[in-house]
Amino acid sequence: MHLKTLTLRGFKSFASATTLKFEPGITCVVGPNGSGKSNVVDALAWVMGEQGAKALRGGNMADVVFAGTSSRPALGRAEVSLTIDNTDGALPIDYSEVTISRTLFRSGGSEYAINGTACRLLDIQELLSDTGMGRQMHVIVGQGQLDAVLHATPEERRGFIEEAAGVLKHRRRKDRALRKLETMAANLNRLEDLTAEIRRQLGPLARQADVARRAQVIQADLRDAKSRLYADDYAQLSAQLASESQGERELGEQRAAAQAELGRLRGVLAELEAAAQTAGPRVRAAADTVVALTTLRERLGSIQSLARERARFLDAPAPTFSGPDPEELEGQARSARAAEAELHGEQEAAEQALAGASERRGAAEEAERTAEHRLAAVHLGVADRREGLARLAGQVAARESRIEAARAERGRLAASLVEAEERARAAEADYSELERDIAASVGVGEDLEAAHARALAAADTADRSAKQLAEAERAERSRVQVATAQMDTLALSLDRRDGTAQLVADGHAAVLVPQAISVAEPWRAAIAAALGDFAEAALTADLAAALAALDHARAADAGSVRLAHAGARAGTGARAREEAQAASAAEPETHEQGRRAGEREVPAGLTAALDVVEVKEPQYAAAITALLSRTALAADLAEARDIAAAHPHLRIVTAAGDVIDGARVSGGGSAAGSLIELQARYDEAAEAGAAAEARAGELQREREAADAAAEEARRAVAASLSAVRDADASAAQANQKLARLSATLRSAQAEVERTGPAIARLDTELAAHAEELAELRERLVVAEKAPQDAEADLTEAQRERDTAAEAATLARRAETDARLQLRTIQERVSALSGRAQQLAEAAEAERTARRRAEERHRRREAAARVADGVRADADAALAAIAESVARAQDEREAAEAAQTEHQRELAAARAAIDDASTRLTELTDAAHREQLARAELTLRLEALATRISEELALDADTLVEEFGPHMPLVEVTTDADGEEVRVEQPYVREQQEKRLKRAERDVARLGKINPLALEEHAALNERHNFLATQVADIKKSRADLLTIVREIDERVERVFTEAYADTAREFTGVFDRLFPGGEGRLVLTDPEDMLTTGIEVEARPAGKKVKRLSLLSGGERSLTAIALLVAIFKARPSPFYVMDEVEAALDDRNLDRLLGIFAELQRDSQLIVITHQKRTMEIADALYGVSMRDGVSAVISQRL
């Protein structure tokens, strides 16, 4: 696989369509600066999916579109097409040639295509990722990217290897799977909450549906039995108007026995209710204990994890000191000072001896030269006289001129010497000061690293705090969802479809009673029982509106409806009626006034029903007051019995919903909650949802603040890391400055060393010229003498010369010995000079470093001990809390079981009381009928006819005709052949009475009947089944996604481990080739976690001890980055690589090594190199030249 062609249209400086044809091997793209060579690299990165505008050297993505020049207008779009030879099938697509296209419009739209077919960016990235090319674009090494590779974080370096190994596609799939899991978790929580709420509602609704189903059969049987009995009663009453009453005593005894039995059953019920009231708090207390212990266990788990992580972070070995002992250094400094002082004394003595010897040697040599000159002058005297005095005088003048010139040169050299010595002293002072600064910067670097470690810890703490707040926010959001689900479910139960609700929906009534009132928690069942059928009634403004609504319901055939109007007034006496008339003439009562009016019927000291009811809309206070007038509340039946005995005119209602109203007693209740209770639960759920929403908002603000703090902490980490890197850069700059100062010092010292001998040579020359001048002058004096004195002067001069020569030889020998002695002492002094001060400073620096290291180690040990203690305490507390949670759960289960048993016994007791109450009511009615006078039989007959008409919608004559005792009962049975046979049975009143009573008991036992329960149960059950199916599907999908994530992690870990091992091995080899004698290796930051570990690069060129990349030179850093990239290339070869001026900073020797590596990469991959180096062009198989004219780039090609 290799690149075949690259076509650019309107991309950056390539305004016209330009095609570059590539061949396998090395293709070099050359051209002057600014001609558009790097735009070719940008085009390759862009067409393969690069999304960062900065990576393309632009401010935004629209910058890639040709912007126009003075001679050409701007274009509206940029298009790049890349054709890849896929004959080897490296790309997972069934084409031998693949063309990838990308188009960007200046308006912002973009298009992608593979072989002309539109696709997504993700499709292109995944197509290329299997070949080691991905979003990191490590195969394209652009300008400045080498330094970016070195300054990359360990995790970013890991990304290069992952991209080359082709695992980024799997990581993207894992990220998508994790995002789906997160979304799925929220949906699953909401579905499970909604399903649980619906499941909780299904039980009561199923019982209501069963009751409604049975009620249909029972009510048909009840109507038939009632019709026959009413017909029999009417016939008997018609025939027995004069008959006497009988059985009054028996009825009285039966009534007394029924009353006794009813009292006994009520006592049993009171005991069971008392036991049930104690069981409820036990269950709630046990549940609260389990929740509290579970919360405590989660908090202790968090503390345990935090302590373990803190202890692991602080666990570090004791510091070891590889430097010399400070005391030993100080001892050496003292010894050096003593030796230096002693040598200074010897040096002074030697200098004095040398000075004396030099003076004696000078005097002797001067005497020797004088004698030699005199002898020479005598010898030359005769000749000089022959040559003439004029020539000798000329030589004297010439010598004097040379002496003047030599003296001028010596003055210049002396000034140069002074200047060089001054430069040397300044450089030496700067060198010493910089050395001290570098020594001090070592401590500063350690402080910066410690600050970086603290910033990392602070960032970790801030991240954990943000995560905890996010978890708390999610928990509150979950509570909002639970409250919403409860409201949805309760709304289904509150959504009535009877005639009363229809009146409210049609606007003929204002509001339902449960929606207009709010009842305190313990008394909801009591108020519902007190209101009775009117607990589900609708409220109207006045009586006229109520009657109009009733007419509407009858016209619409809406069924039975119940209404209460706000014009009603409480009370039954004359005074109450007067108050009602006065109130109607005045302004409408407020709720408080109405409540007080109703309370006047309940004696002080008792709890009136109106005391626990709050009317939400004051205009309906009068209606509620009328409905709950003369109603007192009792905690239980015992208290209700006492109140009924003391105030028989009151209606007493217990907290359980039992009602005593004169001779009428009812109770037992129903398993399903009343509309008042359902509405209260709906309001509570709404309040809980609003409170949870408010808490979630507050937590969101705290979480956002924590996120900002975490971001600030991350910026602090980046700043501290930047400070560490800046310190490293400063140290490198200081080292470079130290090297420059060292070079300046050496240069100045060399100049001093050069100038000193030059001055000495000039001094020698001046002395020689002076001697020659003196000799010439003596010759001139001798030449001017008489000839007769010459012989005597010659003899005397020879004798003086011999004596002076011997003395000079002895003086030079003595001076040489003194000079050698002084040089030896000076060399020893030079060796010891400054040694004592350096040793003392080194001792102090070593002592300071050890003190700081020990202090850091003590602080870390103390913190680690605290963390270990906290972890141990948390472990112990977790173990103890686990046992407490188990015990609390057992206690909760036991309390719930006991509560269930109490509820079952209560239901049985209430059913028995219902039967006894029904029996007592029947006996009471029979006794009252027997006590009536014969005169009342006619009224009873009329009342019976009226009842027949109202209840059965039949007139009495028709009823007797169709259901009279003379009419037989028809029963349908099955014979032996399985055929239906109609059998007629004679009428027996006792059988019909039993039949009626059984039907009435069945109806009474059924309690309140919801006629719409069948339809509601079917709809709710269907919804439950649907939600359960959805929950199962989501759980299965979640399990599948978790399996995918686990498989991806295993694959990524295996592939990365292999790729890292190969890359590390190749990096060592490539580094050895680029840095002969050096050492380089790759190091994992966390070898225990191969899924997230980063990669550090250690590089030590030959002859250097540094391993920090920031301390390397520019060329060394470039070579190290190249070594890392080439190691990745060789470990996981890619079809092609693009190098943009990567060898610009290399010298010839390093360039030779890099070109050798290029030749190796050429065997397996295609190379496209942007270069200015002639030697790089020489190894190319093809050349592309890029030129620019009028702001538009053009190319020419040349195959080599």
Q: How many CA atoms lie within 13 A of 413 on its CB side?
A: 19
166 annotated ligand-binding residue: no
On the 0-12 / 13-18 / 19+ scale of CB atoms within 10 A, 1120 is buried
1021 annotated ligand-binding residue: no
Residue 576 φ/ψ, nearest 5 degrees: -65, -40
Three-state DSSP class for residue 1081: strand
What is the total residue count of the chain? 1200
584 annotated ligand-binding residue: no
Contact, 528 vs 488, CB < 8 A?
no
Three-state DSSP class for residue 290: helix
Helix 154-165 with 1013-1074: angle, nearest 10 deg: 100
Distances in Å between the Cα of 874 and the Cα atoms of 92, 303, 667 are 54, 7, 54
Distances in Å between the Cα of 728 and the Cα atoms of 322, 445, 454, 723, 735 are 22, 8, 19, 8, 10
Beta strands 664-666; 659-661: pairing state: antiparallel
* Residue with token string 């249909």: 216
Please give the sequence-ordered ranges of beta strands (E in DSSP) within 33-190, or none if there are none. 77-85, 97-105, 110-114, 117-119, 140-141
Q: How many CA atoms lie within 13 A of 13 on its CB side?
A: 20
The span from the CA of 548 to the CA of 538, in Å, is 13
Instruction: Identify the CA nearest to 111 among candidates 78, 75, 68, 62.
Output: 78
Beta strands 1166-1170; 26-30: pairing state: parallel
Kindly state the DSSP code that residue 93 receives in the 8-state scheme: S
Give 967-1032 as a 3 state SS string. Answer: CCEEEEEECCCCCEEEEEECCCHHHHHHHHHHHHHHHHHHCCCCCCHHHHHHHHHHHHHHHHHHHH
User: Could you tell me how far CA 358 lies from the centroid of its own chain?
Assistant: 86
The span from the CA of 7 to the CA of 1126, in Å, is 28
Tokens for 779?
Answer: 């010759």
1150 annotated ligand-binding residue: no
Give 706-773 as a 3 state SS string. Answer: HHHHHHHHHHHHHHHHHHHHHHHHHHHHHHHHHHHHHHHHHHHHHHHHHHHHHHHHHHHHHHHHHHHH
For the chain, how are helix, strand and coil distributed in percent, rounded to 5?
Answer: 70, 10, 20
38 annotated ligand-binding residue: yes
On the 0-12 / 13-18 / 19+ scale of CB atoms within 10 A, 530 is buried
How many other CB atoms are there within 10 angstroms of residue 1172's CB atom?
14
The span from the CA of 867 to the CA of 860, in Å, is 10
Instruction: Identify the CA nearest to 1112 among candidates 670, 827, 735.
Output: 735
39 annotated ligand-binding residue: yes
1087 annotated ligand-binding residue: no
Angle (nearest 5°) at CA 234 between 229 and 239: 125
Positive or negative torsion for Cα 326, 331, 336, 337: positive
86 annotated ligand-binding residue: no
The span from the CA of 912 to the CA of 272, in Å, is 13
How many other CB atoms are there within 10 angstroms of residue 1131's CB atom?
20
Positive or negative torsion for Cα 756, 762, 766, 771: positive
User: Could you tell me how far CA 1027 lies from the centroid of its own chain?
Assistant: 32
* Residue with token string 């009068």: 622
Annotated binding-site ranges for ATP: 32-39
Annotated binding-site ranges: 32-39
